[in-house]
């Protein structure tokens, strides 16, 4: 029923390079068994297919590989033997190596839907598979955004966007790039948080790679299952601290997927170079363990050596398979692993912890702007954090580094301007023995204090930063106290998603009588107060990581250095114009994010060259232009 051909189909195939998932997979895993086969009309007559070793050996009962007489122009029904095989018989999962016809329409990377031209419809066996009309990507984008706006429920918008990503990748990115301010809250915080919570229920098709304890000893094999070889950025989570929502186990996958879609839309990294990964070592979330729709391992989290061994195997396999220059972004790990992973792999791999380093860089950028708005230098301010974990201590350290650079003050001295409160109260010297290592630099001489308000009244901070993951902790009393000690208090409610935000924009402005300089991790709409409109900024690492990653990739950097974070902050702050200042904005609007990312990338790359960490030589003359020229475009390509 299937006849084997070789040379004929080599000459006759459409020349789009093969990218369909299963086929590249089979080609890589079964190079010996790869032969070309002619397949029936429903899959396009000139497509290449890949035949596995098993198929050649005749494991598909209904397929006679040696019978050359049965392929006809009329086609052969049940050619894969799926209908006739009984449930316990083996069936070969056929796949095509060159997308054409029906499979082309189902390949999100190449699909253009109704935008396929008449010529392409002829050349690629699409006749009849599409209705007659041909429309432009502009019209497609207009229709899609109109449809998405019809949904009232954010999660429905999220699902519509995910469906689009799986159907037509270029249209997805076109929509996201053109409507970034509207769609960022859909594909990213806050909606991505709800999507992760409900991931099991809304799960349709797997995205990214899942590496669980079951794959221990086989991680390299798992990486080989991914259809792309030229990976430049991996975002990896183990799902233990998803935004401020806690342990969501395997369902944390929504975060790497979302972050990587921003890498492409905001930073211009090609989608095929991005790989989302979730490491599943179990979950301690009882509700998920008892949820019949839960998609992850049903066991409590592995810790200690078992955890470290899987992570080490993963890190080793990634470097072995993708090389020294693949960027591994750690995302939403719990702090008891995050700091150790960064320290352990920082000197051997190109690693970046977004929650520690990306957040630090974005907040520092906002503070550099705020120092102009408030008319004070960083060294003039007193900083108080609610939350002393990854975000809190990461930001604190970068502020101290910047103060030290600005004033030549020793780092130790600069740190004394910064205070942190954790779940047990103010971090002070007398708690030193019991403190986790990342809190120790912040244990200053002071009497113990319980409660944020007491800490504010004692320390009289001018900058208050929320990074505890606990919502509604900046109460009216807290904001009013901040406004008592400073004419222009800086209040940053960083915790995500919106439900965990320390306060709303409206609360910050009204309780401070319009004097607060405010930004939040998740977006809030503008606020009217006493006839004036206040536009809150979004202090979110999404401003930094896409451009930061682009800078590393385009310079071929092999390690991340703190000075690169400072360089990224300066680049972001430099994009805030007088017009933005006038509106009290700490950050430039997201709608110019690609330009912002190009500047961040250029500054980061410059630093990589200065530090001797860049391997792409010679250094391009104009790094901003070079960054722009590297960026992915969602415009459709013409297929020959
Ligand atoms: N806007 C942005 O770009 C980013 C925002 N975030 C957000 O920041 C939040 C925290 O993230 P991260 O730092 O990684 O989390 P961590 O778990 O590392 O840190 C949380 C910290 O908050 C403290 N904490 C918890 N509850 C309270 C409480 N009731 N009162 C005082 N302190 C408390 C914890 O105290 P203890 O140490 O005693 O347990 C810990 O120090 C999350 O909501 C996350 O979404 C994170 C990264 C980027
Ligand atoms: C923004 C982000 O990285 C977080 O909330 O974890
Ligand atoms: Mg994060």
**What pLDDT band is residue 203 in, cutting at 50, 70 and 90?**
confident
**Cβ of residue 468 lying under 6 Å from some atom of ligand 2:** no
Structure confidence at residue 204 as a pLDDT band (50, 70, 90): confident
Cα 242 to ligand 3 centroid, rounded to whole Å? 7
pLDDT value, residue 37: 34
CB 388 within 8 A of CB 442: yes
pLDDT of residue 156: 97
Residue 558, Cβ density class (10 Å: 0-12 exposed, 13-18 middle, ≥19 buried): middle
* Residue of minimum CA distance from atom 41 in ligand 1: 388
Question: For 3-58, how does the pLDDT look when each residue is reduced to its tens digit (9 = 90+)?
Answer: 323 333 233 332 222 233 333 333 333 322 233 333 333 333 333 333 333 333 33
User: Which has the higher per-residue pLDDT, 396 or 23?
Assistant: 396
Mean pLDDT of 521-533: 96
Backbone angles phi, psi at 566, to 5 degrees: -65, -40
Lowest mean pLDDT among 59-63, 281-285, 339-343, 557-561: 59-63
Of 62 and 637, which is predicted with more confidence? 637
What angle do the packed helices 304-322 and 335-345 form, to 10 degrees?
Answer: 40
- Among 188, 199, 543, 587, the active-site one is 188
Q: Residue 276's Cα: distance from chain center in Å?
A: 8
> In angstroms, rounded to a whole number, what is the distance separating the alpha carbons of residues 464 and 448?
19
CB atoms within 10 A of CB 69: 8
Q: Which ligand sits nearest to residue 362's alpha carbon?
A: 1
DSSP summary character for residue 226 = S
Mutate which of 247, 366, 391 for ligand 2 pocket (most atoms within 8 A of beta carbon): 391
Q: What is the mean pLDDT of residues 73-100?
A: 64
Q: Does any ligand 2 atom lie closer than 6 A to the CB of residue 501? A: no
Residues 388-395, mean pLDDT to the nearest whole number: 98
Cβ neighbours for 90, distance < 8 A, ≥ 6 positions apart: 54, 59, 60, 61
* CA distances to 215, 360, 420 from 544, in Å: 33, 10, 24
- Whole-angstrom CA distances from 55 to 27, 80, 93, 297, 443 are 14, 10, 9, 32, 66
State yes or no: pLDDT of 74 exceeds 50.
Answer: no
Helix ranges, 274-389 (H):
286-289, 304-322, 335-345, 359-374
Compute, in angstroms, the gap from residue 457 CA to the centroid of ligand 3. Answer: 31
355 is in an annotated binding site: yes
Residue 75: predicted pLDDT: 45
Q: What is the DSSP letter of 356?
A: I
**Which residues are found with C-beta within 5 Å of the ion, ligand 3?**
331-332, 355
Asked about 259 being catalytic, the answer comes back as yes
What value does the CA radius of gyration of the chain take, rounded to a whole number of Å? 27
Atom 5 of ligand 2: nearest residue by CA position: 243
Catalytic option among 259, 417, 439, 607 = 259
DSSP 243: T
Per-residue pLDDT tens for 282-307?
999 999 999 999 999 999 999 999 99
Amino acid 347: pLDDT: 97
Give CA–CA dist 39/46, Å, rounded: 8
Q: Which of 488, 481, 480, 467 is nearest to 371 (CA)?
A: 488
In terms of Cα–Cα distance, which of 345, 343, 442, 347 is closest to 400? Answer: 442
- Lookup result for tokens 């009217």: 528
**Average pLDDT of the residues of the chain:** 88
Q: Which residue among 363, 467, 586 has the greatest number of ligand 1 atoms within 8 angstroms of its CB, and so is best to mutate? A: 467
Q: What are the structural domains of the chain?
A: 101-169 (1.20.1370.30), 190-353 (3.40.50.10380), 357-539 (3.40.50.720), 543-630 (3.40.50.10380)
Q: Is the beta carbon of 332 within 6 A of some atom in ligand 2?
A: yes
Give the position, in ligand 1's atom list, of the atom nearest the Cα of 338.
18
Q: For residue 212, list its beta bridge partners.
A: 280
Reported confidence tier of residue 100, pLDDT bands at 50, 70, 90? confident
Q: Cα–Cα distances in Å, from 504 out to 183, 186, 389, 435, 441?
A: 20, 19, 22, 31, 31
How many residues make up the chain in this entry? 640
The mean per-residue pLDDT over the stretch 345-349 comes to 98
Mean pLDDT to the nearest integer, 54-79: 39
Of 140, 142, 147, the residue nearest 112 (C-alpha): 140
The ligand whose atoms approach the alpha carbon of 493 most closely is 1
442-449 contacts at long range (C-beta below 8 A, 24 or more positions apart): 442/388, 442/393, 442/396, 442/415, 442/418, 444/415, 444/416, 444/419, 446/419, 449/421, 449/425
Interval between CA 185 and ligand 2 midpoint (Å)? 13
Mean pLDDT value across residues 107-127: 96
Residue 496 CA, closest ligand 2 atom number: 5
Q: Whose CA is nearest to atom 30 of ligand 1?
A: 423
Residue 30: per-residue pLDDT:
31
Measured CA to CA, the distance from residue 532 to residue 509 in angstroms comes to: 11
pLDDT of residue 96 exceeding 90, the answer is: no
Please give the span between the terminal C-alpha atoms of the chain, in angstroms, as a whole number: 31
- What element of type H or E holds 56? helix 53-56
Please give the ipTM for the structure prediction. 0.99
Model pTM greater than 0.90? no
Q: If pLDDT is split at 50, 70 and 90, which confidence band does 348 have?
A: very high
Q: What backbone phi and psi angles, to 5 degrees, belong to 217?
A: 90, -10
Our answer to whether residue 439 is catalytic in this structure is no
- Residue 28: the pLDDT is 32
457 is in an annotated binding site: no
Q: In this structure, are residues 485 and 466 in contact, taking their beta carbons and an 8 Å threshold?
A: no
Q: How confident is the model at residue 583 (pLDDT cuts 50, 70, 90)?
A: confident
Pocket test for ligand 2, best of 255, 338, 523 (most atoms within 8 A of CB): 255
Predicted pLDDT of residue 373: 85
Of the candidates 214, 188, 332, the residue with the CA atom closest to the CA atom of residue 266: 188
Q: Residue 422 is encoded by which pair of tokens?
A: 């954790």
The model's pLDDT over 504-513, given as tens digits with 9 standing for 90+, comes to: 999 999 999 9
State the pLDDT at residue 99: 75
Q: Is 496 annotated as a binding residue?
A: yes
């Amino acid at each position: 029923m299937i006849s084997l051909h070789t040379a004929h189909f080599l000459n006759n195939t459409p020349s789009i390079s093969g990218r369909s998932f299963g086929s590249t997979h089979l080609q890589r895993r079964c190079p010996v068994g790869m032969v070309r086969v002619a397949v029936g009309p429903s899959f396009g007559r000139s497509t290449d297919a890949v035949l596995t070793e098993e198929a050649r050996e005749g494991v598909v009962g209904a397929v006679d590989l040696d019978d050359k007489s049965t392929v006809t122009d009329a086609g052969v029904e049940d050619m894969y033997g799926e209908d006739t095989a009984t449930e316990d018989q083996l069936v070969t999962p056929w796949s095509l190596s060159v997308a054409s016809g029906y499979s082309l329409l189902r390949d999100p990377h190449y699909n253009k839907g109704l935008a396929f031209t008449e010529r392409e419809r002829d050349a690629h066996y699409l006749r009849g598979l599409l209705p007659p009309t041909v429309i432009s990507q502009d019209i497609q984008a207009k229709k899609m955004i109109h449809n998405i706006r019809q949904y009232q429920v954010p999660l429905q918008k999220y699902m519509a966007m995910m469906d689009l990503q799986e159907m037509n990748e270029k249209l997805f990115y076109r929509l996201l790039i053109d409507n970034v301010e509207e769609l960022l809250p859909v594909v990213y915080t806050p909606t991505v948080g709800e999507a992760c919570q409900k991931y099991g229920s809304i799960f349709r098709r797997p995205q990214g790679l899942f590496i669980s304890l079951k794959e221990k000893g086989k991680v390299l094999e798992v990486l080989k299952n991914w259809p792309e070889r030229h990976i430049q950025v991996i975002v990896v989570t183990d799902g233990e601290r998803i935004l401020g929502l806690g342990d969501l186990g395997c369902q944390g996958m929504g975060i790497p997927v979302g972050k990587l879609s921003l890498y492409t839309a905001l930073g211009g990294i090609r989608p095929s170079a991005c790989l989302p990964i979730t490491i599943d070592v179990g979950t301690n979330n009882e509700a998920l363990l008892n949820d019949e729709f839960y998609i992850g391992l049903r066991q409590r989290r592995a810790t200690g050596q078992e955890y470290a061994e899987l992570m080490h195997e993963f890190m080793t396999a990634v470097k072995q398979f993708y090389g020294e220059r693949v960027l591994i972004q750690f995302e939403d790990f719990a702090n008891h692993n995050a700091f150790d992973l960064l320290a352990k792999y920082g000197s051997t791999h190109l690693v970046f912890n977004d929650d520690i380093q990306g957040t630090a860089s974005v907040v520092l950028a906002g503070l550099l702007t705020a120092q102009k708005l408030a008319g004070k230098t960083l060294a003039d301010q007193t900083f108080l954090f609610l939350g002393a974990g990854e975000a809190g201590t990461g930001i604190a350290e970068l502020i101290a580094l910047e103060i030290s650079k600005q004033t030549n003050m020793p780092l130790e001295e600069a740190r004394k301007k910064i205070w942190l409160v954790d779940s047990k109260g103010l971090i002070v010297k007398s708690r030193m023995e019991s403190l986790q290592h990342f809190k120790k630099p912040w244990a200053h001489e002071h009497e113990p204090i319980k409660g944020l308000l007491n800490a504010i009244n004692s320390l009289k901070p001018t900058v208050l930063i929320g990074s505890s993951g606990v919502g509604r902790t900046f109460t009216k009393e807290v904001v009013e106290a901040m406004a008592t000690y400073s004419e222009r208090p800086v209040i940053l409610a960083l915790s995500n998603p919106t439900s965990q935000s320390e306060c709303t924009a409206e609360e910050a402005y009204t309780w401070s009588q319009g004097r607060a300089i405010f930004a939040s991790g998740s977006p809030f709409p503008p606020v009217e107060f006493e006839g004036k409109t206040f536009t809150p900024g979004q202090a979110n690492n999404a401003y930094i990581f896409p451009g930061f990653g682009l800078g590393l990739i385009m310079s071929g950097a092999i390690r991340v250095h703190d000075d690169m974070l400072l360089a990224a902050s300066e680049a972001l702050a430099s994009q805030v114009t007088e017009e933005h200042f006038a509106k009290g904005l700490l950050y430039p609007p997201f709608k110019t994010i690609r330009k912002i990312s190009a500047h961040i990338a250029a500054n980061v790359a410059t630093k990589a060259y200065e530090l001797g960490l860049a391997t792409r030589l010679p250094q391009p003359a104009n790094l901003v232009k070079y960054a722009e020229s590297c960026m992915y475009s969602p415009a459709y390509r013409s297929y020959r």
